[in-house]
């Protein structure tokens, strides 16, 4: 969590830092701050609230200067307020720092520094770190870069930091462990950011720091990379970025979430493009092709993920077991990593993560690797920590997802996992060529069927109008669509703050049915091929208790239409592919309800896009 931005070069830093923070606001948005250095004076402004609030507050300071750093915060230590916001000064006022992460042993360091005469204004671990760096500078008589290195060797935790020293107007020092940090390399100018979006209009060249690396960025010089632990020189690998500006702007939509919902036909197609070769009857995926025996000989596949990605993992469990006949366990990464799981070198672990930075998922990967499992990453963000930590992987090609609520990440994750399951089914001889071909050609029709599902938008909006003031909401689905019910409930609660629960439809009679009365909207996924008759019986049970039924059905359905209060149709497809369609009206429903309730759709309260703390 938290976004960091920095600039050093020949342009005015303030507008670059502010714009960059706005692009990174998805990472945290409870407070923000900026420090601009004009070569003689550091001007610092920070505030509780959004980057927009910071922009207003910063009118009070001089904004001139070609070196600047900024921060948008998701609070960990200390409540969100002006004082706890970053940047933080050291006691002398010479050093200024921004930090994304957590210093776990900050209390003991703080005590030691207090004993040496330091005082602290904020409750943050970050202010402790900047003073530790200052103390090292003083006691060891070393320059900033060396002091940062020595200090970081004393801390336990995670960080992406940028720090500068008033005495060195042409230098910023950055370091990373656990939290992401990219350096944009321009013509005699450098950009620093948690991801490349703040500098994409200035340069396509970026260096992503590895864990335990630091860099001294000095104007007129090459970036100097070092390993934090042993001071070994590292060599920057300058990558050419593919991202473009359009992808990270709203493009006429009111919210990123809506834009991203509408991007799904394209995103799914981009995800299978070059992999799904239906006319040749093959699926080509380098990460699987090169490791095929690991999968076909695996005792089982363990899937680890969090949140929406975990729901995609649950859909994958159905697909892998049903189609490829490989046993699968799906685990919350946060539980898996702490419960001494049994993992062997015959296991394959698939980690799913949009951001590729989720701390619990990353830790689960490390644990599985230590125990000898083969780790396969399914990530959206190219070059992210999980992608790099995995033994092999396949990217989803969803493009940047900026709305905090995951939408296109979910459907593209399912697309990648379906491709893998189909490939393994074929390899293991579970599928005849004709059945394989049927799946491939059907998968190719999914983008146009998603497009068609999106046409329900106006109808969904009218349904949203009816239920926008509900206090609770129940989502039911069976089989492949049980995880979709969970995902629908998560979408609603996270952006509209309505309490919602997802259940397997048949579980309703084991408890949740007690909740049903005329006030309770129940969203039921009742597609033709998914245990249809049984779900129809569940709908009858809801109806006889006067619950309000919103049914997601297959085009042309007549039976459910007679029972439900509202019916939203999706095109017909193979059962295993229905989650790619049934999820669309649920995303739209939560979106419209949140808009009608005046909620902040793209930045819901208390959340952040990238959860880099455990
Ligand atoms: C929900 C949502 C979160 C994420 C979760 C995992 O809409 O966005 O539940 O799915 O925090 O994030 P990633 O996929 O980046 O590991």
Looking at the predicted structure, is the pLDDT value of residue 613 above 70? no
Active site residue 609: yes
- Confidence class for position 383, pLDDT limits 50, 70, 90: confident
CB of 418 closer than 6 A to ligand 1? no
Residue 148: CA count within 13 A, CB half-sphere: 30
Calculate the alpha carbon distances from 71 to 28, 495, 566 in Å. Answer: 9, 24, 46
Average pLDDT over residues 224-235: 95
Cα(613) to centroid(ligand 1), Å:
13
- Confidence class for position 268, pLDDT limits 50, 70, 90: very high
Q: What is the pTM of this model?
A: 0.81
Q: What is the reported pLDDT for 271?
A: 94
CA–CA separation, 401 vs 226, rounded Å?
A: 32
Average model confidence (pLDDT) across the chain: 94
Cα(410) to centroid(ligand 1), Å:
9
Q: Which tens digits make up the pLDDT trace of 148-195? A: 999 999 999 889 999 999 999 999 999 999 888 999 999 999 999 998
Looking at the predicted structure, is the pLDDT value of residue 420 above 90? yes
Q: What is the reported pLDDT for 365?
A: 96
Q: What is the reported pLDDT for 78?
A: 75
Pocket test for ligand 1, best of 611, 612, 613, 614 (most atoms within 8 A of CB): 611
% of the chain with per-residue pLDDT over 90 = 84
Looking at the predicted structure, is the pLDDT value of residue 609 above 80? no
Helices (H), 480-565: 482-496, 532-544, 559-563
- State the DSSP code for 250: -
CA–CA separation, 172 vs 192, rounded Å?
A: 9
- Confidence class for position 419, pLDDT limits 50, 70, 90: very high
| Range of weakest confidence among 52-66, 230-244, 410-424 | 230-244
Closest ligand 1 atom to 491 CA? 7
Looking at the predicted structure, is the pLDDT value of residue 242 above 90? no
Calculate the alpha carbon distances from 280 to 410, 437, 577 in Å. Answer: 28, 9, 21
CA-nearest residue for atom 5, ligand 1, is 307
Cα(187) to centroid(ligand 1), Å:
36
Active site residue 379: no
Q: Which tens digits make up the pLDDT trace of 388-403? A: 999 999 999 898 898 9
Q: What is the reported pLDDT for 1?
A: 67
CA–CA separation, 592 vs 464, rounded Å?
A: 6
% of the chain with per-residue pLDDT over 70 = 99
Q: What is the reported pLDDT for 572?
A: 97
């Amino acid at each position: 969590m938290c976004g960091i931005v920095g600039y050093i070069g020949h342009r005015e830093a303030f507008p670059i830092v502010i714009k960059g923070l706005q692009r990174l606001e998805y990472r945290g948005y409870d407070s923000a701050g900026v420090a601009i250095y004009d070569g003689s004076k550091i001007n610092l402004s920070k505030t509780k609230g959004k980057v927009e609030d910071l922009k207003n507050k910063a009118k009070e300071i001089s904004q001139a200067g070609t070196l600047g750093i900024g921060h948008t915060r998701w609070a960990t230590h200390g409540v969100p307020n002006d004082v706890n916001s970053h940047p933080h000064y050291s006691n002398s006022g010479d050093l200024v720092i921004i930090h994304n992460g957590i210093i776990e042993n900050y209390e003991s360091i703080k005590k030691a520094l207090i004993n040496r005469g330091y005082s602290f204004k904020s409750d943050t671990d970050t202010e402790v770190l900047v003073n530790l760096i200052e103390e090292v500078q003083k006691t060891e008589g070393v320059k900033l870069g060396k002091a940062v290195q020595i200090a970081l060797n004393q801390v336990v935790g995670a960080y992406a930091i940028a720090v500068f020293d008033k005495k060195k107007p042409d230098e910023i020092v950055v370091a990373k462990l656990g939290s992401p940090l990219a350096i944009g390399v321009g013509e005699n100018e450098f950009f620093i950011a948690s991801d490349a979006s703040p500098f994409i209009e200035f340069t396509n060249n970026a260096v992503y720091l590895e864990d335990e690396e630091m860099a001294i960025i000095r104007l007129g010089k090459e970036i100097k990379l070092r390993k934090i632990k042993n001071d070994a020189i590292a060599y920057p690998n300058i990558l050419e970025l593919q991202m473009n500006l359009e992808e990270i702007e709203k493009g006429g939509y009111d919210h990123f979430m809506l834009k991203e919902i509408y991007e799904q036909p394209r995103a799914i197609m981009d995800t299978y493009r070059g992999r799904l070769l239906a006319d040749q009857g093959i699926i080509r995926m380098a990460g699987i092709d090169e490791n095929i025996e690991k999968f076909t000989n695996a005792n089982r596949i363990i899937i680890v993920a969090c949140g929406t990605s975990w729901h995609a993992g649950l859909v994958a469990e159905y697909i892998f077991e049903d189609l490829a006949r490989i046993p699968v366990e799906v685990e919350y990464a946060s539980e898996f990593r702490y419960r001494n799981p049994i993992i062997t070198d015959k296991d394959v672990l698939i980690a799913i993560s949009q951001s590729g930075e989720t701390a619990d998922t990353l830790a689960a990967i490390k644990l599985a690797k230590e125990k000898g499992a083969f780790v396969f990453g399914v990530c959206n963000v190219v070059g992210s920590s999980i992608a790099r930590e995995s033994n092999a992987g396949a990217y989803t090609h969803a493009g940047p997802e900026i709305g905090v609520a995951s939408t296109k990440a979910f459907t593209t994750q399912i697309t990648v996992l379906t491709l893998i399951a189909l490939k393994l089914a074929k390899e293991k001889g579970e599928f005849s060529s004709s059945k394989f071909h049927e799946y491939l050609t059907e998968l190719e029709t999914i983008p146009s069927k998603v497009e068609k599902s999106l046409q329900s938008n106006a109808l969904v909006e009218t349904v949203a109008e009816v239920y926008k003031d509900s206090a609770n909401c129940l989502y039911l689905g069976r089989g492949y669509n049980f995880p979709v019910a969970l995902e629908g409930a998560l979408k609603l609660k996270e952006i509209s703050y309505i309490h919602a629960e997802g259940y397997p439809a048949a579980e309703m009679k084991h408890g949740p049915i007690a909740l049903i009365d005329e006030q309770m909207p129940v969203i039921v996924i009742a597609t033709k091929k998914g245990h249809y008759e049984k779900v129809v019986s569940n709908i009858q049970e809801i109806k006889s208790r006067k619950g309000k039924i919103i049914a997601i059905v297959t085009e042309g359905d007549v039976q459910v239409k007679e029972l439900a209060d509202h019916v939203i149709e999706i095109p017909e497809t193979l059962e295993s592919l229905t989650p790619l369609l049934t999820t669309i009206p649920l995303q739209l429903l939560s979106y419209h309800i949140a808009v009608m309730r005046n909620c902040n759709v793209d930045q819901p309260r208390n959340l952040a896009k990238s959860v880099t703390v455990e």
